[in-house]
Amino acid sequence: MSKFNSLFTRISGLMHGVIEENIFFLHIPKCGGQSIDKAIRTRYQSFIPGKSSNIASLDPIASANAANIINKINFPHDTSDDYPIQKLREDLLIYFMNQKNIKFVSGHFTFSQLCFNNYSNKFKFITVLRDPVQRLISIYFFNKNKADHHCRITDDDIEAFLSSERGISQGHAYVKFIGGLDSKNDYISRTAIDRAKMNLDKFEIVGGLEYLDKFLDRFEDKFRVRLNVQHLNKNPKSKQIINSVITEEIKDKIREICKPDLEIYQYAVEKFAGNDS
């Protein structure tokens, strides 16, 4: 996007309403978060030269590289055991929320009870989920065909990916991102799943990508601003190609892998995302 188009988008967004409240957007990968993030930030960003930004965004690559340096370990981008990386991001989240000028924080953070205890009176917590089966399929094709190396899948076919630690870990991503970090990497136990469901109750808004209009309605009711969400991060492979690879047998295996996240997603749909309350 050119500087002119970027400026036009920011001005247009601010003309359609400015968000007064502070928001923390817990952005789970491949849940439509990039588009929602952009729609929200246009209602905050100042286009006045010299005025400091009131937005803090996590750089996932920089934070992963920083964790490597701090821990003197070279964590591969495809690791499923990323506790040191996510712990550093939790520290950064606390740092961002502690800055007086910051009104919007967004990124691939995990839920932090420490942050919630100290900053839930300052920031409204929101997140958006997606059907876990569709999310895992999207993760595979997006990372398989992306240009940069961060999290790229290099040589695995779909069956090999689903049998790998990395592939299996995508079936309990919601348990980790919503339930919070566990130093023992336990994201499949009943305790971990129930913790994630309880944490959803702490969010101001929980949306579902399949119920985007309802998320936008609730966002408008809460913050008095209607977001204009555009599809930004499109999958490089067509639906026809994806459908030719994802057979019913493969989809059944994905459902089995995603059992922990499917339980959380169903809970969210029934209680937050899909109902009319």
pLDDT value for 4: 46
pLDDT value for 147: 58
Q: Is the pLDDT reported for residue 13 higher than 50?
A: no
Return the DSSP state at 52. P
> In sequence order, which ranges of 108-238 are alpha helices (DSSP H)?
113-119, 132-144, 158-163, 165-169, 173-179, 190-200, 212-223
Q: Which long-range contacts (CB under 8 A, 24 or more apart) does 115-123 make?
A: 115/24, 115/90, 116/202, 118/94, 119/24, 119/94, 120/202, 122/22, 122/97, 123/22, 123/23, 123/24, 123/97
Arithmetic mean of pLDDT over the chain: 87
When pLDDT is cut at 50, 70 and 90, the band that residue 196 belongs to is: very high
pLDDT digits (tens, 9 = 90+) for 79-121: 677 899 999 999 999 999 999 999 999 999 999 999 999 999 9
Return the DSSP state at 273. I
Provide the 3-class DSSP secondary structure of residue 194: helix
Please compute the mean of the pLDDT values over residues 191-215 and round it to a whole number.
Answer: 97
Could you tell me the sign of the dihedral formed by the alpha carbons of 65, 71, 73, 76, in that order?
Answer: negative
Tell me which of 5-9, 37-41, 135-139, 224-228 is least confident: 5-9
**What six digits make up the tokens of 87?**
């712990």
Q: Is the pLDDT reported for residue 229 higher than 60?
A: yes
Q: Is the pLDDT reported for residue 149 higher than 70?
A: no
Q: Is the pLDDT reported for residue 167 higher than 70?
A: yes
pLDDT digits (tens, 9 = 90+) for 174-185: 999 999 999 999
Tell me how far the alpha carbon of residue 133 is from its chain's centroid: 16
> In terms of pLDDT, which residue wins out, 128 or 243?
128
Q: In terms of C-beta density within 10 A (0-12 exposed, 13-18 middle, 19 or more buried), how is residue 194 classed? A: middle
pLDDT digits (tens, 9 = 90+) for 117-142: 999 999 999 999 999 999 999 999 98
Strand order in the sheet with 205-208: 55-57, 104-107, 22-26, 123-129, 205-208
In angstroms, the CA 208 to CA 210 distance is 5
Q: How many CB atoms lie within 10 A of CB 96?
A: 22
pLDDT value for 47: 57
Q: Could you tell me how many residues make up the chain?
A: 277
Angle at Cα 63 formed by Cα 60 and Cα 69, nearest 5°? 145
pLDDT value for 17: 78
Q: Is the pLDDT reported for residue 56 higher than 70?
A: yes
Q: Is the pLDDT reported for residue 195 higher than 70?
A: yes
When pLDDT is cut at 50, 70 and 90, the band that residue 154 belongs to is: low
32-58 residues labelled b (16+ CB within 10 A) or e (exposed): bbebbbbbbbbbbbeeeeeeeebbbeb
Q: Domains plus CATH for the chain?
A: 3-273 (3.40.50.300)
Q: Are 211 and 36 in contact (CB under 8 A)?
A: no
